Amino acid sequence: MCADAFEDYPCLLMNASNLKNPKQYDEFVLALQKIRLAIKMDYCLMAEEDGRIVAAAILQHQTKSMLKNLQNGATKLFRFISITRLFKYFNFVEESERHLEDSAEYDWYLMMLTVIPEE
């Protein structure tokens, strides 16, 4: 659900041309979202309707380091993208979140909210 919701997200789309095989973009996004969820599973909220997950929210407490990404499966992404390009992407994400740490006091913020559209 999260991978589908964010596959057209500009911050992820910028990786499409960097992949070893651009046709694997959807698989790459899914693998990346699984890593994010593994890191933040303690801060993940799910909404369920009739036994089916219809929404997910991830709360962010602090920026996760590149080491944390690697510990939670980022090496699986190497089959899609080179180490150098993946680290550049992780650095980009880390830098884009840094202003949150510098500019405000917070206990947490909503990092991601995904809702399945009605059919």
Over residues 72-117, the pLDDT tens digits come to 777 888 888 888 888 888 888 777 777 766 666 666 777 778 888 8
Residue numbers of the domain that contains 33:
2-115
Number of domains the chain is built from:
1
pTM, full prediction:
0.55
| Cα 52 to the center of its chain, rounded Å | 22
Find, among 30, 40, 28, 9, the residue nearest to 85 by Cα: 28
Is residue 30's pLDDT more than 80?
A: yes
